[in-house]
Chains A and B, each alone.
Chain A
């Protein structure tokens, strides 16, 4: 099925290039569709399919068509190559996707030169939108999540924290924002741990945290196998029993890995802009539609980022057609109600402003684990841009 769909896309792309249809505007989606990160591509594509089901293939007076390209993984060479091909060969006028920061940064010169509005569906470093005036982001940035987590911790009587982050750019960003916010409000950081990217056994860190005996632990680990073993290690080593709370960003327990974490994950608190357990008619609709299209799939942040990304793309296309400058103007300040809650595109930095929810892992009525929203920070902008 997927195969046919992509084949069809390719065929349509060729047909389009030969000028068969006058007013079809093509949108290139660059994301990993193969390799260890293929889950992102899959979630994006499903999010877009649900969107097309809701809004059809027409944006204003224009027909819209998505063209998918595989960026394989954190690989800026490939990302730039496929983007260049989309622009030159497929003649796309808009771009979307981009999971990793280097992949997004590598295309900044291209989209600036060709004035192609590009909606980032994931890459979460604040600096990206500064690198080209044609970037718009519908995901989040790391400071956007870790700042509110610190505020919540203070408000809920947590006085001492140990931070544990993966030792690379995003991890360090998350750590710094959290510490700045937490200390500014009178909290005390007992210990800072930076864990090597390739850590497989987290037991040593757990022992260290345990002997530090803080009120809580703040963690950032990118989604994937390491986040899984970290979370498992937290409960196995008795930190939970010792009363050390688990605070983190939603990367550690997104909906596609949540069930695998098992009951040991109950009580984990994370900050994130979207939970599949969000209570709203829009979210219920999105989840029901996804279930109808792909019964085995689970909606997560990537699904919604792509859905909202498509919303922004459609608005830009409807307003400006192929005029990149006008499209970006149309996107600035755009406000709408998303499945994740009310959102808007910041007119200055073109990143999304959204609610950040503090969620707690709990069992729902069906006996499955869910990220239950327990507190809302309203309209949080990209805190990383402020400095």
Chain B
């Protein structure tokens, strides 16, 4: 019983981190139809900037994280305009090539700037203890991550369902050309969505740094992991990403509790089974 509860708790905490980093990728890939392999790069940039803010500038965690996200957003706007815009009309393969190129440039920049060792993000003392749950304890930063994850999905839900931006975004994800015909300024929409995706990635990178430590090769190391979440969840589906991230988180955690020797195999076989059953992901629609 305790094991079962533990699996759920640890799995959800892990899943939340996966969700926060991957959801931005799902939204941008769903909307722009760009296979964006550089997404993890934005998470890494967020983490690296937050590290720099704390270690070199002496800022506290909250300020540093906020500034890092703002800088990533500021960087993402010109990148979208210059680097990504020409890709929207290109083939999948060209997108893969270009976004891998961008990833390489990001890795090279960060390793030139901060080296290749681990860039630690020290959490404030209030988040570094453990919370007692009665039958076991849970690290305070995991609790924080779970809460942050819930806030993010809540905010995204409000944004998508209740604002004009959300209406346009949904319209454009479903029918890009029709949306453009109806007078939606897709170019502006794309910029904003891209910035949103980058911000979410940066937030996830910073929040998840305890689990997926930030270093220059972060985008390559975890590229597949984030893509798995998006593919399993279904492109462009926020709810799908959420379900997939939590599901995979719990599944992976369960494998580690129950059959650690075959952990990795279990994870990928599960993915094969899910995608065999629903090729467009759990909540995806139509062409992927």
Residue-wise, chain A 170-202 has the 8 Å CB interface mask toward B (1 for contact) of 000000000000000000000001111111110
The interface residues of chain B lying within 8 Å CB-to-CB of A196 are 256, 260, 263-264
The answer to whether A236 touches B210 (Cβ under 8 A) is yes
Task: Check B176 for interface membership: any CB of A closer than 8 A.
Answer: no
Q: Which residue of B lies closest to A38 (CB)?
A: B116
Residues of A within 8 A of B2 (CB): 211
Stretch in B81-89, B117-125, B182-190, B272-280 with 4+ CB within 8 Å of A: B117-125
Contacts of B220 in A (CB 8 A): 36
Interchain CB contact (< 8 A) of A237 among B111, B122, B128, B139? B139
Asked if A236 meets B252 with Cβ closer than 8 Å, knowing A199-B263, A207-B136, A225-B215, the reply is no
Q: How far is the CA of A66 from the CA of B139 in the complex (A)?
A: 49
B6-14, B27-35, B156-164, B230-238: which lies at the interface: B6-14
Tell me the chain B residues, 88-122 only, with Cβ under 8 Å from chain A. 111, 116-120, 122
Assuming A241-B130, A257-B118, is B213 touching A228 (CB within 8 A)?
yes
Q: Are A260 and B120 in contact (CB under 8 A)?
A: yes
Q: How large is the interface on A (under 10, 10 to 19, 20 to 34, 35 or more residues)?
A: 35 or more
| B211/A229 in contact, CB under 8 A | yes
Q: How many residues of B contact A (CB 8 A)?
A: 40
Q: For B120, what are the chain A residues with a Cβ–Cβ distance below 8 Å?
A: 259-262
- For the complex, give the distance between the alpha carbons of A88 and B261 in Å: 44
Chain A residues in 8 Å Cβ range of B136: 207, 210
Q: Is B253's beta carbon under 8 Å from chain A?
A: yes
Would you call B253 and A201 a contact (CB within 8 A)? Answer: yes
Establish whether residues B261 and A262, one from each chain, have CB atoms under 8 Å apart when the complex forms: no
Tell me if B137 counts as interface (CB < 8 A to partner A): yes
A167 interfacial contact with B, CB 8 Å: yes
CB distance from B138 to the nearest CB of A (A): 8
Q: Is A157 an interface residue (CB 8 A)?
A: no
B257 contacts which of A208, A210, A237, A260 (Cβ < 8 Å)?
A208
- Name B182-223 residues within 8 Å CB distance of A: 210-213, 215-217, 220-222
Question: Pick the contact of A238 from B116, B130, B210, B217 — CB < 8 Å?
Answer: B130
Q: A36-B217, A229-B210 are in contact. Are A194 and B117 (CB under 8 A)?
A: no
When the two chains form the complex, which single residue of B10, B139, B217, B221 contacts A204, counting CB atoms closer than 8 Å? B10
A193 to B260, CA, bound (A): 7
Within 8 A of B (CB), among A217-264: 225, 228-229, 232, 236-238, 241, 256-257, 259-262, 264
B117 touches A39 (CB 8 A): yes
Q: Give me 28 A-to-B residue pairs in the complex whose CB atoms sit less than 8 angstroms apart, sorted by A's number.
A: A35-B217, A36-B116, A36-B215, A36-B217, A38-B116, A39-B116, A167-B260, A167-B261, A195-B263, A196-B256, A200-B14, A200-B222, A203-B10, A203-B13, A203-B14, A203-B139, A203-B142, A204-B257, A207-B257, A225-B118, A228-B213, A232-B210, A237-B137, A238-B137, A256-B117, A260-B119, A261-B120, A264-B128
Q: Which 7 A-B pairs have the closest CB atoms?
A: A236-B139, A204-B256, A260-B120, A196-B263, A36-B217, A225-B213, A196-B264
